[in-house]
């Protein structure tokens, strides 16, 4: 097909000086406070920033999709096809004729963004019938064609299914099909892959960009993943506290970040290609709430570059840096490169590999019964953990990665004995804690504690922080007398970076990051030698995430023998913090080696695919990387494939893989792989 | 779906049986004896002998052990016979078939009226949240639910029957016999009965609409360019109805109790009245028959409620 001629500099959407407020009980929230952004024809533009900085409101305002009240479009212009969309009546015919037809949207949580009570087919055809005036028959035909195009198998049959019958990745494909269905000029995707697994995330993003190219649309993508920006976006806006603080082409901003917030974001994120001695440079503090913000630089309280010139009363204007690059900062910040910035003076403590392992897991199995019917009869078993052998050495951090449903959480819970394993052994300090009777086990398993993704759910909402942290001291009799108790709690608070004045507060009075610190303090109170961290930073914003990761690292440096089993789906985080990494797939370990080797020389095809699906926050590197993505989804452990369970998705599988099960074998020193071809 | 219905019907049958056993026992454990009650006037005058009493007992099968009485009763039911009333001189089946149409007519019209008004009102209040319409609807619904049915009935009769003379004060005329008079005799009892369910359903519709309008999928619907009407009717309403159906089931059961009051106030010879009289006289067969019919109606309503969950929520349907 001959490419239509288009003007790369012609603006499709041009938002100027937009202000959107919310009137709340607590005060006026200036969610979007004088923001300008535009997107050119067939361009992919990204908007980044931590949660609550106004990204979504800025985009929803473009289509007047903010409920009024409490929202209010205060000022600004939204130019689209020669008209100012802000002047149209909010839900009038003209505004509605643009929504979903010329500008369409994709949202974050695909499951909740689709109507649970209507079929996918119905929701697909709604737009077609409304905007393209198709009749039901034609719309159905077109919808089936589109669903097939975005990779929904059996599209015709699945038209009659409901959202809950699809996986998250599949639903996001449906959303993409829906958004593209009326040939829009612009698609706005608001964190389209945040809720998805890394591999699915890569699949969905590749598909989205492919569709945007094919339909010659433009794309605005909101994300907090700078890697995604580097991989896909040509231009970038960084938002903070309701304002754009830096904008420019991705290459300009990544190679020469000017705003201290952008620098802070780049310093906060671990990268797959970070050197071994890299450490994170988090932004201190937390993002502000947007009530009663001053006109001066909102980043001032957290900024490490602030000078006298950043006088509180001065309004910050966008300053031209070069080309299309602008930054809203008074100072002319000359920073070292991010790599230099992240360089650490101290080296990681070398792991003594000859030491006796702290934990030895032998042929561990965990079966869950599946119950059906009125009488809850057991009709089968899920092998959530299917024969795992693993050693954890004292003082190391063992990372555990794999797609969700691969059994990581289950393994963590077996080790901490929340679950009763159905087979195998777990040796901890010379005793098999699977067999040990409850009473004897208690004093041992005290030394194994867990930290969860959602700190709020795991803390008693009525208990004060001090007693949450102090309870284990009392229960296990680790302190003598009230004075020692108090001193120990203060010490623990200090260790995890909480101010002692916060001891009387209850969990909801803390932020997410602070709650995670309380969880860590509680684990330390037990004198744990092994802390199992299950996705401990996944729910946190990047700057906070970096603070907590650094806390983990510092504690390990300070407390001899402190060992982590670190479970996360974000391989860059795991690689940053871990000394060794185990990769899991469908209840088995498929590869174990040290974290440097995992990145440099992965041997299992699954590990290779996981790595390829993780974008590196550097557009120059991403340009050269192969973006082929792992196909398909992780099968249900109820009914795993025969032979090597990875074979249906493996690009190099052959007949042998369908028949035999590869066992985890040492291929090289400190490198074990379960693959026939490794 | 078919299998599910059969399973539910089986469960319902068991529940109905248990209820009948319970009633059978309870009414016999109450102090007093229906036969003695029946002949009490004559006993005082000396007109009945012990033999007559024994004969009466035998005639109504009350001389046999209780479990035999129960099995006999069940056996009769299978032959479409619910026994004979001790006092009313007619079969229970005849008594009930005279009473049921009145009760069912008033009950279902009352509930229908409540549903037809409450859903639009609740939706309207939710969509126009914070406006005077919402304030008014919420106020009315909150106060209406506290009005005692008995008092309301008397007030309505005062105003519309006695003072304005538009409607009959009491009694029941079948619409099939005399349509005009039938409708007139229905208006007050039906309105009276519908007030509580109307208010409860309005409140529930409003709050569950408010909850659903905030959902992500409604934002998606807006982003597609649909009109407000379509978004409300097509997207928000169906999901909002799930808790409304729960309240409907509850209200339907409460309504059955409310009928006793209504039939007393308006002097309508329906099931409620039959039950009350039967209990006062300890007329075993009548009470058993009435309870059986009510148990069947209630389980029927529960079944309909459960099936509509499945219709409204595909997640339930697939399990
Ligand atoms: N309590 C349970 N009952 C039944 N199946 C379970 C249970 N817990 C986990 N599973 C199954 O075990 C598999 C692994 O789950 P999980 O440990 O949560 O993996 P991950 O942590 O990688 O997400 C999943 O497919 C899940 O369905
Ligand atoms: S204006 Fe000053 S305080 Fe604000 S970001 Fe720049 S250097 Fe920091
Ligand atoms: S054993 Fe075969 S299917 Fe499995 S990972 Fe290796 S090559 Fe792929
Ligand atoms: Mg998990």
> Which one of A406, A407, A567 would you pick to mutate in the ligand 1 pocket, going by the greatest count of ligand atoms within 8 A of its CB?
A407
* C-alpha neighbours within 13 Å on the C-beta side of residue B24: 19
What torsion do the CA atoms of A541, A547, A548, A550 make, to the nearest 10 degrees? 140
pLDDT mean over A568-586: 91
Residue from A318, A280, A246, A250 nearest A49 by CA: A246
pLDDT at residue A187, as a whole number: 95
Report how far ligand 3's centroid is from the alpha carbon of A216 (Å): 38
A311's CB contacts (< 8 A; 6+ apart) are A296
pLDDT for residue A290 is more than 90: no
pLDDT at residue A346, as a whole number: 57
Report how far ligand 1's centroid is from the alpha carbon of A405 (Å): 6
Q: Compute the mean pLDDT over every residue in chain A, rounded to the nearest whole number.
A: 86
* Chain B: closest CA distance from residue A226 (Å): 25
pLDDT at residue A375, as a whole number: 64
Residues of chain A positioned with their CB less than 8 A from the CB of B314: 116-117, 162, 164
The ligand placed nearest to the CA atom of residue A382 is: 1
**Looking at per-residue confidence, does B222 or B69 come out higher?**
B222
Cβ density class A243-272: b for 16+ within 10 Å, e for less: bbbbbbbbbbbbebbbbbbbbbbbbbbbbb
Which of the four pLDDT bands, split at 50, 70 and 90, describes residue A464?
Answer: confident
The answer to whether the CB atoms of A113 and B220 lie below 8 A apart is yes
Which of A99, A112, A162 has its CB closest to that of B224?
A99
Chain segment A658-667, per-residue pLDDT in tens: 988 998 999 8
Which range, of A26-40, A47-61, A216-230, B50-64, averages the lowest pLDDT? Answer: B50-64
Q: How many CB atoms lie within 10 A of CB A466?
A: 21
Give CA–CA dist B240/B118, Å, rounded. Answer: 13
Q: Give the rounded percent of residues in chain B with a pLDDT score beyond 90.
A: 26
Q: Is A160 on the interface with B (CB under 8 A)?
A: no
pLDDT at residue A168, as a whole number: 86
Which 8-state DSSP code applies to residue A394?
T
pLDDT mean over A366-383: 80
Give CA–CA dist A129/B233, Å, rounded. Answer: 17
Which of the four pLDDT bands, split at 50, 70 and 90, describes residue A418?
Answer: confident
Which range, of A162-166, A243-247, A278-282, A475-479, averages the lowest pLDDT? Answer: A475-479
> What percent of chain B is helix, strand and coil (3-state, nearest 5)?
80, 0, 20
**Looking at per-residue confidence, does B141 or B84 come out higher?**
B141
Sheet with A580-585: strands ordered across: A448-451, A530-534, A563-567, A397-401, A580-585, A588-594, A671-673, A665-668
Give CA–CA dist A40/A7, Å, rounded. Answer: 8
Which of the four pLDDT bands, split at 50, 70 and 90, describes residue A348?
Answer: low
Burial of B224 (0-12, 13-18, 19+ CB in 10 A): buried
**Looking at per-residue confidence, does B163 or B282 come out higher?**
B163
pLDDT for residue A3 is more than 50: no
pLDDT at residue B1, as a whole number: 62
Report how far ligand 4's centroid is from the alpha carbon of A126 (Å): 36
Which of A96, A107, A164 has its CB closest to that of B220?
A107
* Chain A: closest CA distance from residue B296 (Å): 23
pLDDT for residue B41 is more than 50: yes
Domain B103-269 CATH superfamily = MetI-like (1.10.3720.10)
Give CA–CA dist A567/A162, Å, rounded. Answer: 32
pLDDT for residue B292 is more than 90: no
pLDDT at residue A283, as a whole number: 87
Interface predicted TM-score (ipTM) over 0.90 = no
pLDDT at residue A353, as a whole number: 63
Give CA–CA dist A233/A617, Å, rounded. Answer: 11
Ligand 1 within 6 A of CB of A421 = no
Judging by DSSP bridges, how do beta strands A103-106 and A588-594 pair with one another? Answer: unpaired
Give CA–CA dist A226/B51, Å, rounded. Answer: 100
pLDDT for residue B44 is more than 60: no
Ligand 2 within 6 A of CB of A330 = yes
Chain segment B249-287, per-residue pLDDT in tens: 999 988 888 888 888 888 888 888 888 888 887 778 888
284-313 in chain B: CB under 8 A from chain A: 312-313
Which of the four pLDDT bands, split at 50, 70 and 90, describes residue B226?
Answer: very high
Instruction: Report if pTM > 0.95.
Output: no
Q: Give the rounded percent of residues in chain A with a pLDDT score beyond 70.
A: 95
CA B162 to chain centre: 28
pLDDT at residue A316, as a whole number: 80
* C-alpha neighbours within 13 Å on the C-beta side of residue B156: 24
pLDDT for residue B68 is more than 90: no
Which of the four pLDDT bands, split at 50, 70 and 90, describes residue B217?
Answer: very high
R_g of chain A computed on alpha carbons: 26
**Looking at per-residue confidence, does B42 or A557 come out higher?**
A557
pLDDT mean over A379-403: 90
Which of the four pLDDT bands, split at 50, 70 and 90, describes residue B121?
Answer: very high
Sheet with A377-392: strands ordered across: A377-392, A359-372, A423-428, A431-432
Q: E strand or H helix at A60, and its extent?
A: helix A55-60
Q: Compute the mean pLDDT over every residue in chain B, rounded to the nearest whole number.
A: 85
Which range, of A552-566, B55-69, B189-203, averages the lowest pLDDT? Answer: B55-69
Nearest CA in chain B to A59: B223
pLDDT mean over A219-232: 91
pLDDT for residue A53 is more than 50: yes
The answer to whether the CB atoms of A100 and B313 lie below 8 A apart is no
Q: What is the largest CA-CA distance in chain B?
A: 88
Give CA–CA dist A262/A239, Å, rounded. Answer: 9
B127's CB contacts (< 8 A; 6+ apart) are B209, B213, B228, B232
pLDDT at residue B84, as a whole number: 78
Q: Where are the domains of chain A?
A: 11-117+162-327
The ligand placed nearest to the CA atom of residue A656 is: 3
Report how far ligand 2's centroid is from the alpha carbon of A19 (Å): 22
Q: Give the three-class secondary structure for A668.
A: strand
pLDDT at residue A335, as a whole number: 65
Which of the four pLDDT bands, split at 50, 70 and 90, describes residue A1?
Answer: very low
The answer to whether the CB atoms of B314 and A162 lie below 8 A apart is yes
The answer to whether the CB atoms of B225 and A127 lie below 8 A apart is yes
Residue from A155, A322, A150 nearest A248 by CA: A322
**Looking at per-residue confidence, does A130 or A507 come out higher?**
A130
> Could you tell me which residues are beta bridge partners of residue A388?
A364
Give CA–CA dist A516/A502, Å, rounded. Answer: 14
Which of the residues B127, B223, B316 would you substitute to probe the A interface, choosing the one with the greatest number of A C-beta atoms within 10 Å? Answer: B223
Q: Could you give phi then psi for residue A33, rounded to 5 degrees? A: -125, 75
B240's CB contacts (< 8 A; 6+ apart) are B123, B205, B208, B209, B211, B212
Give CA–CA dist A252/B319, Å, rounded. Answer: 54
pLDDT mean over A488-514: 83
- Nearest residue by C-alpha to atom 7 in ligand 3: A653
CA B200 to chain centre: 16
Which range, of A29-33, A451-455, B117-121, averages the lowest pLDDT? Answer: A451-455
Which of the given ranges, A198-202, A477-481, A504-508, has the highest pLDDT on average?
A198-202
CATH of the domain spanning A11-117+162-327: 3.40.50.300
> What percent of chain A is helix, strand and coil (3-state, nearest 5)?
35, 25, 45
Which of the four pLDDT bands, split at 50, 70 and 90, describes residue B43?
Answer: low
Which range, of A77-91, A500-514, A578-592, B123-137, averages the lowest pLDDT? Answer: A500-514
Q: Where are the domains of chain B?
A: 103-269
């Amino acid at each position: 097909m001959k490419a239509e001629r288009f003007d790369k500099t012609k603006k499709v959407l041009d938002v100027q000086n937009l202000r959107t407020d919310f009137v709340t009980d607590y005060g006026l929230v200036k969610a979007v406070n004088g923001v300008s952004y535009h997107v050119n024809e067939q361009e992919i533009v990204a908007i980044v920033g931590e949660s609550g900085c106004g990204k979504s409101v800025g985009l929803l305002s473009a289509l007047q999709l903010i409920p009024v009240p409490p929202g209010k479009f205060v000022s600004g212009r939204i130019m689209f096809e020669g008209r100012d969309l802000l002047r149209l009546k909010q839900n009038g015919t003209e505004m509605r004729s643009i929504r979903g037809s010329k500008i369409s949207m994709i949202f974050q949580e695909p499951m909740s963004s689709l109507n649970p009570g209507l079929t996918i087919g119905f929701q697909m055809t709604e737009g077609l019938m409304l905007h393209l005036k198709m009749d039901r028959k034609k719309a159905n035909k077109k919808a089936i064609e589109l669903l097939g195009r975005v990779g929904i198998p059996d599209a015709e049959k699945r038209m009659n299914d409901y959202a809950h019958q699809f996986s998250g990745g599949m639903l996001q494909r449906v959303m993409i099909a829906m958004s593209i269905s009326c040939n829009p000029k612009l698609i706005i995707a608001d964190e389209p892959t945040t809720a998805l697994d890394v591999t699915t995330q890569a699949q969905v993003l590749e598909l989205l960009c492919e569709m945007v190219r094919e339909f010659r649309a433009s794309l605005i993508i909101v994300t907090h993943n700078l890697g995604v920006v580097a991989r896909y976006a040509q231009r970038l806006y960084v938002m903070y506290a309701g304002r754009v603080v830096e904008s420019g082409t991705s290459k300009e901003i990544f190679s020469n970040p000017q705003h201290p917030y952008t620098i802070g974001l780049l310093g906060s994120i671990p990268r797959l290609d970070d050197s071994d001695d890299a450490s994170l440079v988090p932004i201190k503090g937390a993002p502000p709430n947007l009530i009663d913000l001053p006109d001066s630089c909102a980043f001032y309280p957290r900024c490490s570059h602030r000078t006298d010139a950043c006088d509180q009363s001065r309004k910050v204007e966008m300053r031209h840096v070069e080309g299309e690059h602008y930054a809203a900062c008074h100072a002319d910040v000359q920073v070292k490169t991010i790599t230099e910035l992240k360089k650490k003076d101290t080296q990681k403590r070398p792991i003594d590999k000859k030491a006796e392992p702290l934990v030895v897991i032998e042929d561990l199995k965990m079966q869950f019964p599946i119950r059906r019917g009125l009488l809850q009869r057991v009709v089968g078993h899920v092998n959530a953990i299917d024969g795992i052998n693993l050693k954890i050495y004292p003082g190391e951090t063992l990372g555990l990665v794999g797609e969700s449903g691969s059994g990581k959480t289950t393994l963590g819970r077996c080790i901490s004995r929340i679950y009763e394993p159905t087979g195998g052994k777990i040796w901890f300090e010379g005793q098999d804690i699977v067999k040990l009777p409850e009473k004897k086990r208690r004093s041992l398993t005290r030394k194994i504690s867990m930290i969860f993704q959602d700190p709020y759910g795991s803390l008693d909402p009525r208990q004060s922080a001090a007693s949450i942290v102090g309870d284990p001291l009392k229960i296990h009799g680790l302190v003598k007398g009230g004075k020692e108790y108090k001193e120990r709690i203060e010490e623990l608070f200090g260790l995890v970076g909480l101010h002692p004045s916060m001891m009387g507060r209850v969990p909801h009075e803390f932020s997410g990051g602070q709650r995670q610190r309380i969880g860590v303090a509680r684990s330390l109170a037990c004198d744990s030698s092994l802390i199992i961290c299950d996705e401990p930073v996944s729910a946190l914003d990047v700057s906070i995430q970096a603070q907590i990761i650094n806390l983990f690292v510092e504690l390990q440096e300070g407390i001899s023998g402190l060992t982590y089993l670190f479970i996360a789906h974000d391989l860059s985080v795991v690689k940053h913090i871990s000394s060794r990494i185990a990769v899991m797939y469908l209840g088995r370990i498929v590869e174990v080696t040290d974290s440097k080797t995992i990145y440099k020389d992965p041997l299992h095809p699954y590990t290779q695919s996981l790595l390829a699906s993780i974008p590196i926050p550097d557009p120059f590197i991403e340009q050269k990387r192969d973006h082929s993505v792992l196909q398909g989804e992780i099968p249900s452990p109820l009914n795993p494939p025969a032979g090597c369970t990875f074979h249906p998705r493996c690009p190099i599988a052959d007949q042998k893989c369908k028949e035999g099960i590869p066992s985890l074998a040492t291929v090289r020193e400190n490198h074990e792989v379960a693959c026939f071809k490794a | 779906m078919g299998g599910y219905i059969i399973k539910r019907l089986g469960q319902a049958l068991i529940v109905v049986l248990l209820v009948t056993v319970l009633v059978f026992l309870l009414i016999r454990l109450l102090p007093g004896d229906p036969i003695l009650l029946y002949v009490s006037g004559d006993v005082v005058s000396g007109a009945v002998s012990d033999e007559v009493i024994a004969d009466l007992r035998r005639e109504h099968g009350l001389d046999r052990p209780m479990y035999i009485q129960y099995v006999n009763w069940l056996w009769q039911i299978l032959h479409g016979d619910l026994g004979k009333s001790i006092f009313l001189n007619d079969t229970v089946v005849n008594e009930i078939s005279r009473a049921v149409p009145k009760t069912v007519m008033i009950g279902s019209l009352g509930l229908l009226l409540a549903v037809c008004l409450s859903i639009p009102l609740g939706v309207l209040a939710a969509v126009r949240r914070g406006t005077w319409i919402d304030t008014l609807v919420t106020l009315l619904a909150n106060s209406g639910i506290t009005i005692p049915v008995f008092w309301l009935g008397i007030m309505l009769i005062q105003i519309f029957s006695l003072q304005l003379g538009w409607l009959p004060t009491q009694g029941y005329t079948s619409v099939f016999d005399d349509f005009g008079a039938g409708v007139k005799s229905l208006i007050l009892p039906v309105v009276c009965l519908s007030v509580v369910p109307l208010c409860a359903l309005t409140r529930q519709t409003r709050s569950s609409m408010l909850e659903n309008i905030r959902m992500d999928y409604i934002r998606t619907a807006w982003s597609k360019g649909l009109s407000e009407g379509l978004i409300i009717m097509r997207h928000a309403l169906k999901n909002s109805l799930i808790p409304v159906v729960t309240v409907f089931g509850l209200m339907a059961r409460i309504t059955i109790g409310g009928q006793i009051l209504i039939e007393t106030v308006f002097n309508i010879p329906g099931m409620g009245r039959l039950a009350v009289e039967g209990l006062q006289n300890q007329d075993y067969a009548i009470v058993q028959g009435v309870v059986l019919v009510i148990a069947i109606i209630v389980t029927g309503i529960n079944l309909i409620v459960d099936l509509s969950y499945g219709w409204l929520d595909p997640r339930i349907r697939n399990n």
